[in-house]
Amino acid sequence: MSDWLYSDTVKDHFMHPRNVLEEDEASWPSDGRGIVGNIKCGDQMLILLRIKDGIITDTRWKTYGCASAIASTSILSEAIKGMSLEDAYVLKPEDIVAKLGGLPSNKIHCSVLGDKALRAAIDDYLEKNDLPSLKGKENVEVICNCLNVTDRDIEDAYKAGDRTWEDLQARTKIGTACGGCKERTLELLHQLEHLYGE
Ligand code: FES
């Protein structure tokens, strides 16, 4: 697949997205609601969940994102029906990208909105129902093996105001040994800007 082409699965889900919220939100009562993204980048994702006995029974979603965000959330919405909250909470963007038959490399960041909104909706449900939180149970990716810095550490640093490689190094010491983690870190910063940037 060339870097610029979408797989047939992506095209199918983009042309015929499943479980889209067609009605207004109030007419689809949900048990959990998650919204993430940065409307100024044109990407925002809302996910609604219906949950019974710890299992996701139905879902609706809406996004202003691009084709990749639409296709990846469509496939995510099919995958999570019938899934336990614990299993859904640890879904990774890579799992969704794999189901899509891959995405152009410059589009992978679009698929992270879906799983973040999904976790936000699960958090919302657990909080509203006074149930134990799953926060911290999501899979983390070790980005810097030398200094053991994970994607969650970088996300926390971003939320605390870090925007550049130098900011991150000052806070976490990332990349100060072999330096092999710089490219992946910059990619992640780009994703975070998309998710949280002003
Ligand atoms: S992997 Fe980050 S410094 Fe070596």
Are 87 and 24 part of one and the same domain?
yes
Residue 114: phi and psi, rounded to 5, are -60, -50
Is 66 one of the annotated active-site residues of the chain? Answer: no
Specify whether the CB–CB gap between 50 and 28 falls below 8 A: no
Which residues have C-beta atoms less than 6 Å from ligand 1?
144-147, 174-175, 177-181
For residue 64, being part of any structural domain is answered with yes
Instruction: Examine the pLDDT at 1 and tell me if it is beyond 60.
Output: no
For residues 150-177, give the mean pLDDT: 91
Is 41 one of the annotated active-site residues of the chain? Answer: yes
Instruction: Write down the H helix ranges in the chain.
Output: 8-15, 67-80, 85-89, 93-99, 112-128, 151-159, 165-172, 182-196
Instruction: Examine the pLDDT at 33 and tell me if it is beyond 90.
Output: yes
Interval between CA 162 and ligand 1 midpoint (Å): 18
Which atom of ligand 1 is found nearest the CA of 149?
2
Of 103, 128, 153, which residue is a domain's last? 128
Q: In the prediction, which pLDDT does 126 show?
A: 97
Instruction: Examine the pLDDT at 19 and tell me if it is beyond 60.
Output: yes
Q: What is the CATH number of the domain that holds 154?
A: 1.10.10.1100
Q: In the prediction, which pLDDT does 103 show?
A: 66
Interval between CA 167 and ligand 1 midpoint (Å): 16
Interval between CA 188 and ligand 1 midpoint (Å): 15
For residue 69, being part of any structural domain is answered with yes
Percent of the chain with pLDDT over 90: 45
Q: What is the CATH number of the domain that holds 89?
A: 3.90.1010.10
pLDDT band for 110, please (50, 70, 90 cuts): low
Q: In the prediction, which pLDDT does 121 show?
A: 97
Its domain, for residue 98, covers 2-128
- Number of domains composing the chain: 2
Q: In the prediction, which pLDDT does 147 show?
A: 83
Q: In the prediction, which pLDDT does 57 show?
A: 98
Q: Which of 150, 172, 181 to mutate to test the pocket of ligand 1 (most atoms within 8 A of CB)?
A: 181
Q: In the prediction, which pLDDT does 70 show?
A: 86
Residue whose CA is closest, atom 4 of ligand 1?
Answer: 178
Are 26 and 74 part of one and the same domain?
yes
Q: What is the mean pLDDT of the chain?
A: 86
Percent of the chain with pLDDT over 70: 88
Q: Which two tokens stand for residue 185?
A: 């870190």
- Angle ∠(26,30,34) on CA atoms, nearest 5: 95
Least confident of 52-56, 64-68, 105-109: 105-109
For residue 63, being part of any structural domain is answered with yes
Are 148 and 95 part of one and the same domain?
no
